[in-house]
Structures are given as C-alpha cells and as structure tokens.
Chains A and B, each alone.
Chain A
Amino acid sequence: MEEMRILLRNKDKINPTSAQDYIQTGGYEALRKALSMDGQEIIDTLKAAGLRGRGGAGFPTHMKMQFAKNAEDDVKYVVCNADEGEPGTNKDRVLLTTDPNSVFEGMAIAAKAIGAHKGFIYLRAEYPYVFPILKEAIENARAARCLGDDILGSGFSFDIEIHSGAGAYVCGEETALFESIEGHRGEPRYRPPFPGTKGLFGKPTLLNNVETLANFAPILRNGPDWFRKIGSEGSPGTKLFTICGNVNHRGVYEFPMGVNLKEIIYDVCGGIAEGKGLLAVQTGGSSGAIINATQIDLPLDIDHVSASGGRLGCGTILVIDDTNCIVDIVRNNLDFFRSESCGQCTPCREGGTHLYELICKICDGKGTLRDMDTIVDLANTMRITALCGLGHSTAVPVLTSLQNFREVYESHLDGDYCPVCGKDWGN
C-alpha cells in the first residue's frame, strides 16, 4: 500500500530550514492567497474542506477559528501545540524537522483569518534538537519576508516565538500550555471560558496541533473540493500515523483518513515482529482504547475509532504482540498517567494513583472481584468528573481493556499463571 504524501511532501527533499527551498516547491503561495482574502473567507474555506483537529479531540478546526475571529480584541494569538507528549508519537517531530515552513505558513494563514499578529510554538521539552532547526527556519522565513513585518508586501504582520516546555505531559492540554507559556505551573484551567475568547494572557487564542496547521496551506492552495476527495466523509484529508510497538517496520506514515488498521499492520508495517501473534492494539496513544485482535478490521478515521470506545487522537498505533499481558500494559499506562497528573483536581490526582494500585494488585494475583468493580466505578467516575482531558482519558485504556479482555483480568484473579506478570500464584 502506497503512502499519500501531502503533509510529508517535502520530507527529505528540501533543506528544511531554507525558506527559499520551500518557496520553490510552491510554499507560501497559499499564504499569499490568504493575505488577499478576507478572514471569513479563509475560515469558510476550511469549513468547506471539513478539516478536523489532528491533535486528539478531532474538533472542527473552522469552529475554533470562528470563535477566535468573533472575539473582539486588539490582541489575539495563534499557538502551535508542538508539545507532542503522547507516548509513542513522533509525527509532529517529523513535520517540524523536515518541513517547518509548512507549519509557519499554516500559522500565518490562521493569524490572517482571526486577526492575530503574534504566534507561539510550544515545543516539547524532550525535543531540544528541534529548537535550533525551528529557530533557523524562522529567521530564514523572516529574511524571505514570509514572517515578520509586512509579510510578502501585504502590510500584514505576524511573527512567531518558540517556547520550550519543561517536560510535563499535561502541558499538551491547551490551557495548561497557556499557563506554562505565561510562566506558571502547568495546570489546566476550567472551561468555559474557552481559549477562543480567553486564552493565552487572557486574550482570544487559536491553538492548533502542528499537523492541523500543516494542512492549511494545501487546503488553501488546492481548494476544499480537492481535500474532500481525500479520506473519509466525516474525516477528510490525510493523517500522519505513528506506528510503534511490535511490528517489523515502525515509523511515521501518511495515509488518507479511513485507512484500514489491519492493512497498516500487515501490509505497511510488515506484520508482527519476530513471527509472534497479535494480542492487542492501542489506538491514539496511552489515552486510547485497547482493542483485541478480532477488532482490527477497523477504518482509521475520527468517527470509527470513537465508536470503538477510544479515539483516533494523534494517530498513534501501538501494536502489542502476544508475549505481553494486557493487565501489565494497562498498569504501565496508568503508571504514566498518575505521574503526569498535574495534581490539581481530586479525581485525577487521587483516582489515577488508586487505579494504578488496584491494577497492580491484580497483576500481583491479589485482586478480587470487588476490586474489579471498584476499578470500573472509579474509572467511570474519573471519566465524567475530572477537570481536564487527562483525567477523563486515564480511564479509557482501563475500561476498554476490561471490555475487550475481561477473561485476562479474571484469569489473574483466579490465580492462573501469567508469563508476563511473572508469578505462578497457585492457590
């Protein structure tokens, strides 16, 4: 199966920091077009294209943009969320290191649409080597007058500042990200107010994922009809997928939305490594659903994956072979979430740790049926009571794995031997 490279069109073909290279491949043409358009026309174009966010929630991009445009304020911001923290995910890094100008162009188009003149790229702390690439690329883009004052002679000004994170997963949550840029502890804010009306420094803010922004230029250049023809009806366009785990060919691939998961695993990635069997797949990163081997004939677009109990999220596919234990995988997930909770709200701060401890108890062969009930009750509570998405999604791998691998949990309760959790519990 062939990749469809729209976002990765320049990967390994141009010097990523050279604005001139980018321009020679048709770069900044979309921006030039956008600069001659009314803000509303740009938003309408994205609306017609049906673009949805690529960071996690799959929210219609034009709606976010419309909120920020409608907000009345002299100062507005465009923020690029490059805090790619979802375990196993590398797609934003690939975009930023191979074609950063496509992201800048998207940000500038967004700025023109909502009336912003300043943008921030919030870069994941663990990507320090990306920082100089972005810095150089921004300087070159300024020199080419594609950023800065009077962009492309249009009179419109927009500039970008890079801001490094400090290593907290929760800062990928948009409002925690704002807090972090503002110099505060990275804790999410309650909503409403939403960022579109009150975001960074209290100003109307449009925040998009790297990949979402990279879609703006191709859409403007080729038109919404072109975009609609790619992908599935509810999720037009392509998607970057990071395939990780026990497959032969791991990596970042670009496919139209709706590509079949089974085909990705077996055709694109060469199947399970070392000839082992498939146990499970987790879609959308650590906060995604864990499905079993019988469920992988699944079109990967936003709505289909949601229907499976998880979400497409950032497009990360963790393939798990049958030498693993699902309870152990979930334990590992929970260990991640409990240490990444900001500690602000009760359900996530306390619940995350108790979930982890209960799962550990099951791993240790000391779990009871009552513990299983507690796990379900707690996970369901966290899902509806936590302050932000981190607390809501901690429950997802727990609940979906319980649904799809109930017998594995029960065999731990029964004291059956588990080769991974390692103990022959006997009686």
Chain B
Amino acid sequence: MVTIHIDGQELQVKKGITILEAARSANIKIPTLCYHEDQKIKSVCRICLVEIEGQRLLQAACSYPVSEGMVIKTASPKVIKARRNVLELILARHPQDCLNCPKNGFCELQDLTQELHMKRPIRYQRDIRPHQVDESSTSIVRDPTKCILCTRCIEACEDGQTIGVIGKENRGFDTIVVPPYGKDMNETVCVNCGQCVQVCPVGALTIKDDTDKIYENLDSGKILVAQVAPSVRTTIAEALGEAPGTPSAGRLVTAMKLLGFHYVFDADFSADLTIMEEGYELLDRIKNGGVLPMITSCCPAWVKFCETYNPKYVKHLSTAKSPQQMFGPVIKTYFAEKHKIDPANICSISIMPCTAKKFECQREEMNDSGYQDVDISLTVQELANMIREAGINYADLPETPFDDPFGLGSGAGEIFAATGGVMEAALRTVYEVVTGKTLEKLDFHDVRGLDNLKEAEVDLNGTIVRVAVVHGLGNAREIMRKVRAGTANYHFIEVMACPGGCIGGGGNPIRNWKKVKARTESVYQQDRDLPVRKSHETDAIKTIYKEFLGEPLSDKAHHLLHTSYCNRQDLLR
C-alpha cells in the first residue's frame, strides 16, 4: 500500500495501480477517451491528463502508476486547459454532423465534449479525412472520417479475435485505420462479428442499419414473421436503458406487435431444433465412424473463420444449420403451409444479438425454402432504435406470449445465448436419447463460465464422450491448431466467435465484461425458470417432427435444415 494525495484527499491505495484506478476508488472522475476497461492501456488520446507535483509534464492517469507520497491534481486550471486544448484538436478533425450520426446519443466523444464544457469555437482549420464511407460489408459500416485513432477496434480484431482486418496505415496526421491494401471490408477476412463496433467510442464503426427494410416491407403489405434469438430477451431491455441482464421476453413481443410484426416466434424453438439435428448427427458420427471431433456451426462468424483459415477442416463442422437458418425454411414451408400463406408474401426477419447473422442470411446456401430463407436480420441495437422511433414506452409494456405454433422453447434453447450453452443443451438431449434414462442433474457446470477452454466428459452407456467449449476466435484458432495436429481428443467442440458467446455478441448494446457476466447469470436463471429444459421434450419439437419432418436427419430435415460450406482461403491472398 502507498499513501497518495488526490485533490487534497489522502488515500491509501495498492502500490502499482494507475492514477485513474486510484481516483475511481475515491469516486473522483477523470475523463477518458481511448481507455477501455476490458482492453490494454493505450495512453494515446491524452485526455485523462493529470498534474503530479514536481513534474513539468502532465501525465496520463490511465497509464501512470501511483507511488508513495505522490500528490496529484486531477482538475487544476492547468489540467482543465490542457484537456480542452487536446479535445479541441480531436474536434478539429471530427465531422460535426452529430445530429444525423448513427452514434448520436451513444458517442463517447459527444459525452466527453459535454463533460469538458467545450463551449468555445475551434481555433484551427477544419480538416476532415477525405475518405469514403465503406458500406460494402453486410454487417458493419466503416466511416474513417469519424475515427479518432483510439485503436480499440484494432485490439478487438487483432488481439482478441486474432484476425486483424483493420490496422493503422500511414503516419502522423495522415494516420488512418483501414483494411490493408485499400480493400473494402467485404473483400477482407472480416467475419462480421462486430466486436470492433462494440468498442468504437464514436461513429467510425457502426452496425449496418437494416431497419428501413422493415418499414418498406410493412408498407408493401408483406406478412412480417419474426424469430427472436435466445439472448435478445436478455439484452433488449438493457439497450433501452434498463439494467444489464433484465429479461423482457413478454414486453419484447408486445413491442414488436406494436411495431407491426404479424408473428413473433421464439427462436428457442429453432435452437431446440438445432439440438435435435446436431445431436443426432453427433451420435451418427460416433456410431458410424464419421469425422470427429464434430464442431458446432451455429455461429456464422466462426463458420466464415473456419472456411477462411481452415478450409480443409470444414468437414468437422456440423452440417446442421444455425437456429436462424433452420427457422427460416421452417417458416416459409411448414408454417406457410399450415397457415395457408403464400411464402412469397412472407418477409422473414430474425432479431439477433449478432452482426454476422446479416451475412449468414445472405449466404447462397440459404435458399432451401425456394426463397431466401431469412430475408432480414436485425440486431438488438436496431430493434431498440425502432422501439424508440415508435415512441413505445418499453418499461411499462404489458407482456404477450410468443406466437404459436412454436410457442415457448426449452431452457436448453434459452442457454444457447451463453458460451457453453449449445454444448450443455446438446448433452441434455443426447444423454437421454442414448441412455433412455432421465438426466438427474441438468446443469453441466464444467462447460459454463468464461474460461478460455472448458472441457467435460459424459458417460453415455459406457461410451465416454469428451467435449470442449471455446469462445472468442483467438481460442478457436488455438483449438483448430490442435484439430489440425490431430491432438484435439474430443468428440464434440462448441465454438462461438464472440467472447462470452452470443450474449457478448456484436449486435447487443455496448458490452463490457461486467455487463456480459450479468447477462449470463440472467440467461441461466431464465433456463431454471422455464417449465421444459430439454430440447426434445417441448411440444413444438414433438409436433414438427410428427407433422412435417419425420425424424431427425430425415431426407426432409436434410434438405431444409442442413447445409454445406465453402472454401474462402482466397480472402487471405
């Protein structure tokens, strides 16, 4: 412990912590910009400057460690002036079209400018980067004119996801964060995970906005049929200002009905359906000497990653489609037939925690219903915008159940939202199918949590099935190294591209680990609260196999619910 003085307050703090951490522990707020609590210290924006007695230079509070006897001023006239002068330099470079910026109201630079009471005019010649907005990606819009070079996105992409789609080019005033060699985003190895969007403090990286398409389809008289992903009910309230992890399935359905959606279905159903197909596929591979380990394929960012970096190993991917892409054809065939609706008149929409789902629904393999199976994929952030636009007071909405015939899904489908959830859901079903016994303990704690690699073994009538779970593409890359080397001694691996799983996905409200943890707890609580917690036991699953699909892995199931993969290694050239 060391004794320091911050703004006249004597503090005992841990040796070696930064001035910023020490100040926060004493409830003293130092403004920051490039700093992100889940990332490495960058110390480049030079906003969090403080004065240390005996030093001529101002120091960045985010990076400077405290030491015994240090006397710090966090808001002296010299500090305030310097912060404003630095902010002025950032603003001189930043387009001031805040009122029609997608980040308006959620922009950290906007907040900072307000906080620093930046009321005087900019003294410098405005010099906005002359670069074009890159809208080539299905999922992410990159507007380099707004970039403040905090480099958070570079860290998220390169260190976190080990991809490195964007990096710095040029130097000095001409420095810019771009994909290499003048490529557009859609020409890169970008997997559309949106983790860069999650950390961008300004409007330089935003989610591709597809909300106008919804209004257009409503206008043209289409039947709007929506599926709502498991994690959405856990994060939508947060996107609308409530505490992280506040579940709101009932209110969400009400809001969507108010927005004009004709049918709102629970994608826990298609998660259950995925478990049926994927679970039986696993058993089939184990029994008949198929390719093992089998790896989950519900995450489109992971699938593109595998197709790009490990194209020879796509045979390890389960051929079962993701829940989104299973629900798509089910809606345009089974549901359309049942309700006598012309599938051509259906606009199928998914509400997702994910930016990569926008890419997935546009894959050419995803037209098995005879139409594009899912027409539009919206993120939680976009849906929250629509709810705000419509003036809906989300907090006070009554609850409405999801529509039939897909009703309420199982707890197994629900936990797809968290890392390890698909694995746990699969084990609940596979165990009972193989052993014919009722699973006593439904909770597989070994595959839960935020460890980089989680492993478990399950005894299925004498056959030991070994499973592994990874989340974040850095960990996925690691486990693929083992698969390639033949040392991945597992039967089944779950991979999710986003840290924490879908609940940490790029389409959610802005994340940090604290929020992701609260969301995760909420997901498992919702699982415990559901009447049915195993995929194969829900009424909707039993019915669809009886009425339509026959049995798991049937010809019809294969046609509608399974897919194939491609080789994208040319993206690396």
Beyond contacts A350-B89, A350-B173, A381-B86: 11 other A-B pairs, Cβ-Cβ < 8 A, are A190-B64, A341-B171, A341-B173, A345-B43, A347-B89, A354-B89, A358-B124, A377-B85, A381-B82, A384-B57, A387-B43
CA distance A192 to B62 in the complex (A): 12
Structural contact, B65 and A385, CB atoms closer than 8 A = no
Q: B149 contacts A349, CB within 8 Å?
A: yes
Residues of B48-102 whose CB lies within 8 A of A: 49, 56-58, 60, 63-65, 81-82, 85-86, 89-90, 92-93
Contacts A185-B168, A343-B170 given; indicate if A190 touches B63 (C-beta within 8 A): yes
Q: Which residue of B lies closest to A344 (CB)?
A: B44
Is B172 touching A338 in the complex (CB atoms < 8 A)?
yes
Flag if A350 contacts B90 (CB, 8 Å).
yes
Map CB proximity to A onto B126-157 as digits: 1 under 8 Å, 0 otherwise: 01000000000000000000000100000000
| Given the contacts A381-B82, A381-B86, A385-B58, A343 and B92 also touching, CB distance less than 8 Å | no
Name 16 A/B residue pairs within 8 A (Cβ), A-sorted: A190-B63, A340-B171, A341-B172, A341-B173, A343-B149, A343-B170, A343-B173, A344-B149, A345-B46, A346-B47, A346-B86, A346-B89, A352-B173, A357-B125, A358-B124, A370-B123
| CB of A323 closer than 8 Å to a CB of B | no
Partner of B46, one of A338, A370, A387: A387
Instruction: Give Cα A341–Cα B44 distance, bound, in whole angstroms.
Output: 13
What's the Cα separation between A351 and B172 when bound, in Å?
10
Q: A190-B43, A374-B123, A385-B58 are in contact. Are A339 and B89 (CB under 8 A)?
A: no
* Min CB gap A178→B, angstroms: 16
Cβ–Cβ contact A354 & B58, under 8 A: no
B175 within 8 A of A: yes
In the complex, chain A residues whose CB is within 8 Å of the CB of B149 = 343-344, 346, 349
Interface residues of A in 309-360 (CB under 8 A from B): 338-347, 349-354, 357-358
B152 shortest CB reach to chain A, Å: 14
B41 within 8 A of A: yes
A338 to B58, CA, bound (A): 22
Interface residues of A in 191-239 (CB under 8 A from B): 192
Shortest Cβ gap from A332 to chain B (Å): 16
- Chain A residues with CB under 8 Å of B125's CB are 354, 357
Cβ-closest chain A residue relative to B86: A346
| Residue in A190, A351, A357, A384 whose CB lies within 8 Å of B58 | A384
Greatest chain A CB density within 10 A among B63, B81, B89 is at B89
The secondary-structure label for the interface of chain A is helix
Please indicate the chain B residues that have their CB under 8 angstroms from the CB of A392 in the complex.
57
- Within the complex, the shortest CB–CB distance from B87 to chain A, in Å, comes to 9
- Please name the residue on chain B nearest to A170 by beta carbon: B171
- Closest chain B residue, CB of each to CB of A386: B46
**How many angstroms between the C-alpha atoms of A235 and B384 in the bound complex?**
67
Distance in angstroms from B295 CB to nearest chain A CB is 32
- Minimum CB distance partner of B67 in chain A: A192
- The total of Cβ contacts below 8 Å across the A-B interface reads 95
Residues of B contacting A354 with CB < 8 Å? 89, 92, 124-125
B65 touches A168 (CB 8 A): no
Count class of interface residues, chain A: 20 to 34
Q: Which 10 A-B pairs have the closest CB atoms?
A: A343-B175, A350-B89, A341-B172, A190-B43, A353-B173, A381-B85, A190-B63, A354-B124, A343-B171, A343-B172
A152 at the interface (CB under 8 A from B): no
- Whether, in the assembled complex, A378 has its beta carbon less than 8 Å from a beta carbon of chain B, the answer is yes
Q: How far is the CA of A12 from the CA of B90 in the complex (A)?
A: 53
Residues of the B chain whose Cβ atoms lie less than 8 Å from the Cβ of A352: 172-173
- Report A196 CB to chain B, min CB distance, Å: 15
The total of chain B residues at the interface (CB under 8 A) is: 34
**What distance in Å separates the Cβ of A68 from its nearest Cβ neighbour in chain B?**
19
Specify the chain A residue showing the minimal Cβ separation from B91.
A350
Expressed in whole angstroms, the Cα–Cα distance for A354 and B125 within the complex equals 8
Q: Interface code B20-62, partner A: CB below 8 Å = 1, 0 otherwise?
A: 0000000000000000000001011111010000001110100
| Residues of chain A within 8 A of B60, CB atoms compared | 190, 387
Alpha-carbon separation in the docked complex, A386 to B82 (Å) = 11
- The answer, yes or no, to whether B389 is at the interface (CB within 8 Å) is no
Please indicate the chain B residues that have their CB under 8 angstroms from the CB of A343 in the complex.
149, 168, 170-175
Residues of A within 8 A of B81 (CB): 381
**Closest CB of chain A to B470's CB: distance in Å?**
27
* Contact residues in A for B92 (Cβ distance below 8 Å): 350, 354
The answer to whether A378 and B173 touch across the interface, beta carbons within 8 angstroms, is no
* Interchain CA distance A354-B172 in the complex, whole Å: 12
Chain B residues whose CB sits within 8 angstroms of the CB of A347 once the complex forms: 46, 86, 89
A343-B149, A346-B90 as given contacts; A190 in contact with B171, CB under 8 Å: no
Q: Are B93 and A350 in contact (CB under 8 A)?
A: yes
Q: Considering the complex, give the chain B residue whose CB is closest to the CB of A354.
A: B124
Q: Are B172 and A385 in contact (CB under 8 A)?
A: no
The answer to whether A339 and B172 touch across the interface, beta carbons within 8 angstroms, is yes
Cα distance A292–B404 when bound, in Å? 88
Q: Which residues of A contact B65 (CB under 8 A)?
A: 192
Residue of A nearest to B83 (CB): A385
Q: Which residues of A have CB within 8 Å of B44?
A: 344-346, 387
Docked CA distance A384–B46 (Å)? 10
Q: Is the CB of A385 within 8 A of B86?
A: yes
In the assembled complex, the Cα of A62 lies from the Cα of B351 at a distance in Å of 64
Q: Is the CB of A192 within 8 A of B64?
A: yes
Q: Which of B190-242 contact A (CB under 8 A)?
A: none
Contacts of B93 in A (CB 8 A): 350
Q: Closest CB of chain A to B242's CB: distance in Å?
A: 35
CA gap between A347 and B45 in the complex, in Å: 8
Considering the complex, give the chain B residue whose CB is closest to the CB of A345.
Answer: B44
- List, in ascending order, chain A residues with CB within 8 A of B90's CB: 346, 350
Residue of A345, A352, A370 contacting most chain B CB atoms (<10 Å): A345
With known contacts A374-B123, A377-B85, A387-B46, A342–B58 Cβ distance under 8 A: no
Q: A350-B93, A384-B57, A385-B49 are in contact. Are A338 and B168 (CB under 8 A)?
A: no
Instruction: Verify A338–B43 contact, CB threshold 8 A.
Output: no
A190-B43, A386-B46 are contacts. A349–B86 as well, Cβ < 8 Å? no
* 8 Å CB interface, A358-387 against B: 358, 370, 374, 377-378, 381, 384-387
Residues of B within 8 A of A338 (CB): 172-173
> Complex: how many Å from CA A347 to CA B90?
9
Let me know if A342 and B171 touch, CB within 8 A: yes
* A-chain residues with CB within 8 Å of residue B45 when the two chains form the complex: 345-346
B43 touches A349 (CB 8 A): no
Which residues on B sit within 8 Å (CB–CB) of A384?
Answer: 56-58, 82
Within 8 Å CB of B63, what residues of A?
190
Chain A residues whose C-beta falls within 8 Å of the C-beta of B127 in the assembled complex: 353
Taken together as a complex, chains A and B put the C-alpha atoms of A385 and B58 apart, in Å, by 6
Residue of B nearest to A381 (CB): B85
B515 shortest CB reach to chain A, Å: 27
List, in ascending order, chain B residues with CB within 8 A of A387's CB.
Answer: 43-44, 46, 60
Given the complex of chains A and B, what is the CA–CA distance between A352 and B174 in angstroms? 12
Q: Which of A379-406 contact B (CB under 8 A)?
A: 381, 384-387, 392
Residues of chain B within 8 A of A346, CB atoms compared: 44-47, 86, 89-90, 149
Q: Cα distance A342–B41 when bound, in Å?
A: 18
- Tell me, in angstroms, the Cα distance from A307 to B277 when the chains sit together: 79
State how many angstroms separate the Cβ of A58 from the closest Cβ of chain B: 15
Chain B residues whose CB sits within 8 angstroms of the CB of A192 once the complex forms: 64-65
In chain A, what residue has the closest Cβ to B125?
A: A357
Residues of A within 8 A of B123 (CB): 370, 374
